[in-house]
Amino acid sequence: MECKVTWQGAGTMAFAAETGSGHQLQMDGPPDAGGKNSAARPMELLLAGTGGCSAFDVVLILQRARQAVSGCEVALTAERAEVEPKVFTKINLHFTVKGKDLDPGKVSRAVQLSHEKYCSATTMLAKMAEITYSIDVVEE
């Protein structure tokens, strides 16, 4: 896996990233750090990637279990250390999984498997942060 991050130049704290798979994204800092708030912060992207990694697992596991999943949303909240480096110390992932006749036990098991076996992001972050999760199953 590879990625290239390029500073956008003097007078900014904006950066452009190009992923190894050829996708592009922007990052910026807050105004009090010289940024213009024109894009997500790097740590926000780390949190978003964590949610995406786990949601990917959950949807794939449920599809393989022949569950009629029609939606999956993960709302993440995180706390950071007060001093540098301001690592994540707590992360909660709240899953809202939608579908027709979903088996709540299978949904719970999919989330559990993501966190205990498959999600590289939560496994990595769990070395520094307390990772918790909660689940809502919504019938559609």
pLDDT for the residue numbered 84: 96
Beta-strand relationship, 88-100 and 68-80: antiparallel
Q: Is this prediction's pTM over 0.85?
A: yes
pLDDT for the residue numbered 77: 98
Amino acid at 118: Y
CATH number of the domain at 42-139, please?
Answer: 3.30.300.20
pLDDT for the residue numbered 58: 98
Q: pLDDT tens for residues 54-105?
A: 999 999 999 999 999 999 999 999 999 999 999 999 999 999 999 999 999 9
Domain with CATH 3.30.300.20 in the chain: 42-139
Largest CA distance in the chain: 55
